[in-house]
Amino acid sequence: MNILGLDISQIADLGTMVAQSGAIRAAAEVAGDEVFEYVIGIAVVIYSTNPTG
Amino acid sequence: MVGCDGPDAAGAVRSPEVGLQWLTCNTHQALRQQFADVRPGDAEGAAVAAETLLASGDWVGELLAPLIAALHRDAAFDPPLRVHRDALRTAAVLFEGPAVSISAAVTSAEALAALPPATSVVAGGRLTVVRYHRAGGARLRCWQMERLGERFSAADAPPCRRLGDVQLADGIVRRCDGRTGATLLDGATEDVVTVTATVRYGAASLMREYELPSGALLRAATLDEAASRTTMLLTLLRLGGRADAAEVFEAATHSPAFHLRWSAMREWLALDLVSALPRLRAMAAGDPDREVRAAAQATLRLAEERLAA
């Protein structure tokens, strides 16, 4: 049996839009550097897990 | 406070071992003790304890000394500090406890001077206590905004109001209540060194950004990480066609966060209109937030038309 759903783009949204946690930054923070830290963090975890791999 | 020593072994320093020693050393224990008497949820008590701690900056040197010694022994040593770097600022989290997290930051005067004029200011939603260890000749530009009420609406949010500037000096300790205020650092002639205690208790539900110079509200974001994760997971359930998860959607539509209640209902309606309909009717009739009620009423008409077709 097919389940009936509304097209989400047709469903009303609130006048007060609230973004996800972390979506607003204080002035002049550079998101790219956080991405850099994230990538480096993953690299550190991989290296720590298997340093000879 | 008593300092703590790194390992005695010459040569390579094992980062995890030093990190573990550091976290259990006397200086770190003294930091925990500083906030031990703060009752859970007592934001004012946490702020007072932070003000007492930040009246002096001597303990920061003691805290970092073993890590600096370890770096001297091994340049590849990885200090157990969460660090944030960007063009303007380098910051490290020194301590994380139930009541506060404490970070130290160096803000580049050169980078600050090169910034274009700020076009917005952010009320972070949390209570902070800041020690301007080296003020660098900077001043604070300050704004005040209304405290978030239960009935916050972007449509009728009053603008923020400019307050007088505050000239900083070395060693000044200031509270900044991010629930009702925002600041921008300006005019530094030398790098600014700060130690900031961010109180975990009593935070506002939203972080707000205001346009400058008009002061009008630009946007808001939740400070509730659990609500954000829930929103994303509900989207995942909808995309996965998980109509068997109605109880999860129903529970989220009872969240204290108005935006999460409606976000959950949107996902539920897109997934399974029939199962979501009774709760949609209830929200249209009696949700405590008027925007949620209005959205539910509008959507109820659409839903009933769709079912009648």
Q: Of A44-48, B61-65, B73-77, B149-153, which range is least confident?
A: A44-48
pLDDT at A33: 44
Residue contacts between A and B (CB atoms, under 8 Å): 127
Q: Among B14, B81, B86, which would you mutate to test the A interface (most chain A Cβ atoms within 10 Å of its Cβ)? A: B86
Stretch B121-130: mean pLDDT: 94
Q: What pLDDT is attached to residue A3?
A: 82
The C-alpha of B161 sits at a distance from chain A's nearest C-alpha, in angstroms, of 18
What is the value of ipTM here, to two decimals?
0.70
Residue B271 identity (one-letter amino acid): L
Query: Searching chain A, which residue's CA lies closest to the CA of residue B244?
Result: A3
Q: CA of A26, closest CA in chain B: separation in Å? A: 6
> For residue B99, what are its two tokens?
């009541």
**What is the tens place of the pLDDT at every residue in B82-96?**
888 888 889 999 999
Per-residue confidence band for B7, with pLDDT thresholds at 50, 70 and 90: very low
How close A52 comes to chain B (CA, Å)? 17
> With 0-12 CB in 10 A as exposed, 13-18 as middle and 19+ as buried, what is B218?
middle
Euclidean distance between CA atoms B152 and B208, whole angstroms:
11
**Ranges of residues in chain A whose predicted pLDDT is under 50:** 27-33, 35-36
Residue range B105-117: average pLDDT? 94
Give me the percent of chain B exceeding a pLDDT of 90.
73
Subunit contact B221:A20, Cβ cutoff 8 A: yes
Binary contact (A33, B184; C-beta < 8 A): no
Taking CA–CA distances from B85, the nearest residue in chain A reads A33
Query: Which position has the token pair 């009008």?
Result: B216
Q: What is the pLDDT of residue B82?
A: 86
- Euclidean distance between CA atoms B210 and B122, whole angstroms: 6
Contacts of A7 (CB under 8 A, 6+ apart): B270
